[in-house]
Amino acid sequence: MIACFDIGGSAIKGAIAHSPEDIRPLPKVQTPLHDFDAFAGAIEKIAADGGADQASLISISIAGVVDADTGKITCANIPCIHGRKLVDDLSEKLHRPVLVANDADCFALSEAVVGAGRGHRVVFGVILGTGVGGGIVINGKIHEGAGGFAGEWGHGPVSATLAGNPPVAIPRLACGCGQIGCIDAIGAARGMEKLHAHLHGVNLPSTEIIERWNAGDTAAERTVDCYIDIVSGPLAMTINVVGASIVPVGGGLANSVPLIQRLDEAVRSRILRKTDKPLVVPAELKIEPGLIGAGVLGLMEVAK
């Protein structure tokens, strides 16, 4: 039994993990953003309320990246931990061992172990939601890469400047990472909205764009056509490099199964390995995949 957590800028979600298939959620609390002692105290209280042993492992999925070389975390939306050696600082504060992993990595691990990636040696978990991200799992283990950034296919100035059939000019949008032309800037939900506004001069939420597309709206079809063209190329290239045999997709846009099916068809037409089997698929774990991934990560650690 371990205590596991999924931590973002708004909430700390906790659970007690007895096995990868038996992870029992606990009440969530608001994330203390500016007080590290309060941050650590919230984790400690949730673990204690769940009945975790005083010496039991704490395993955390978090919206940030830990540099394996320095141990420092990049997590701008939780200022009290940004730049800290989080594993060391939390271990010292809580007097117990602590694991910390990126939330996209934990999502990929959860899908690899108990989700759509079961039985696959290389799993590339993709996020299409507020941002575009990903995580790589090889032989049941997270591949973090240099600096902890492996799987972050959404960043890099590779977004197409022409897309769709017939082709139309696409602007290179500024990305939050500081670059211009990242897939994250146009492939995320807000990016789809910007794409629709660029093409049609109308501002709509991504959910409505997809609803209209499903209903046969021609403007929404044009947006989705361009969106798939823009996103599928870089994703196909990433799959070629990583060698994944399954790509589970999570995040808000993955709630549209037809959208993911269309993305899958486009990606499979562009990768080197030809297959008739679905490759890019909706994630199976719709509820708390980060929490499940943190639980799986912790359970694997204590089983060593």
Helices (H) and strands (E) in the chain, counts: 9, 15
For the chain, 304 residues long, the average pLDDT of each consecutive 10-residue run is: 94 94 93 97 95 90 90 93 96 95 95 96 96 96 91 95 97 93 97 98 98 98 98 98 98 96 98 96 92 95 87
Q: Residue 69: what pLDDT? A: 87
Domain formed by 2-105+287-302, architecture: 2-Layer Sandwich (3.30)
Q: Residue 147: what pLDDT? A: 87
Q: Residue 185: what pLDDT? A: 96
Shared fold status for 2-105+287-302 and 116-282: yes
Q: Where are the domains of the chain?
A: 2-105+287-302, 116-282
Q: Residue 287: what pLDDT? A: 85
Q: Residue 127: what pLDDT? A: 96
Q: Residue 17: what pLDDT? A: 94
What kind of fold does domain 116-282 have according to CATH? Nucleotidyltransferase; domain 5 (3.30.420)
**44: Cβ contacts below 8 Å, ≥ 6 apart:** 94
**239: Cβ contacts below 8 Å, ≥ 6 apart:** 124, 247, 267, 271, 279
Q: Residue 301: what pLDDT? A: 93
> pTM of the prediction?
0.94
Q: And the tokens for 61?
A: 């999925």
Is the previous residue joined to 166 through a cis bond, with omega within 30 degrees of 0? yes
